[in-house]
Amino acid sequence: MIIDLRGYRAVVGGATRGLGLAAARQLAASGATVTLMARNEHSLNEALASLSSDAGQQHDYLQVDYLDFIGFRQLTESFFSGKKVDILVNNTNGPKAGTVNEKTTEDFQEAFDLLFKTYHHLTQLLVPGMRSRGYGRILNVSSVSVKEPLPNLVLSNSIRTAVVSWAKSLADAVASDGVTVNSILTGAFDTERIRELTQKQAQASGDTIDALLEARKASIPAGRFGDPKEYGYLLAFLASPMAAYITGASIPIDGGAIKSL
């Protein structure tokens, strides 16, 4: 099976590192023209230079701050006005770690703006064009925490669950127009994010980062963390015409870590 995305344009959020960058690289390698979105312009230029490219691809980027929703809305509305977008990968950096007793109402509002409002706004901005053309792929980067809440990540646990519920409702509304909407329930991958979270855990517990990482690997049936390239493979397939009958799904990619059905 060859995934050919030539002629399609993809937009990838949080695209300068980790899973966002892996998704962008694989979409570009499959032939799509990719627009990268992230906060740091230097990192955006580095990521842009790492994308596969041929004569038919014209990759670009949009510098945005996901934590500034008003600015995010203004920049995206201006940038995407009149542009054809076929594939949207909704992805941002995760909210700050913390327990349910530590987080305030203001913390939850900030996490809602970061994880829900940005996903919703960008989708609502781009989905009318997808519906009119009869083709669209909305892919929401989410987490296994929507099935099994993770310790010390109450903001992510809560808001990502809301995103998955919204995505399911949206999938029903646009399926007849050739637009699919799916959520990826992300497990533990070998990225900067998992090391950042583990470092905070180590500071609190007194254990070493290496010991905590090895313990987490041991808890995964596959016995390892995921390779970000594997994440890119899944997103490229779901973005393709071959995945036209998959919609409204919450798809785990976690090495078998989720214990629930």
What was the pLDDT predicted at 152? Answer: 85
Domain count, the chain: 2
Residue 167 sits in the same domain as residue 202:
no
Instruction: Please check whether residue 259 lies inside any domain of the structure.
Output: no
What was the pLDDT predicted at 201? Answer: 80
Residue 41 sits in the same domain as residue 94:
yes
Residues with Cβ < 8 Å from 51, sequence gap 6 or more?
A: 24, 25, 28, 34, 57, 59
What was the pLDDT predicted at 14? Answer: 96
Instruction: Identify the H or E element spanning 143.
Output: strand 136-143
Position 33, amino acid: T
- Quote the longest CA-to-CA distance of the chain: 56
- Residue 122 and residue 95: Cα distance in Å, rounded? 19
CB 114 within 8 A of CB 95: yes
What was the pLDDT predicted at 56? Answer: 85
What was the pLDDT predicted at 97? Answer: 87
- Residue 59 and residue 65: Cα distance in Å, rounded? 20
What was the pLDDT predicted at 77? Answer: 98
> What angle (nearest 5°) sits at the alpha carbon of residue 43, between those of residues 196 and 52?
110
CB 166 within 8 A of CB 142: no
Residues with Cβ < 8 Å from 103, sequence gap 6 or more?
A: 154, 155
Q: What is the DSSP letter of 81?
A: T
Domain of residue 217 covers: 190-225
Residue 101 sits in the same domain as residue 126:
yes
Instruction: Please check whether residue 241 lies inside any domain of the structure.
Output: yes
CATH of the domain at 48: 3.40.50.720
- Residue 243 and residue 236: Cα distance in Å, rounded? 10
What was the pLDDT predicted at 202? Answer: 80
Residue 69 sits in the same domain as residue 197:
no
Instruction: Please check whether residue 132 lies inside any domain of the structure.
Output: yes
Q: Which residues of the chain have pLDDT under 50?
A: none
Instruction: Please check whether residue 4 lies inside any domain of the structure.
Output: no
Extract the tokens encoding 52: 């596969």
What was the pLDDT predicted at 171? Answer: 98
Beta bridge partners of 87: 10, 137
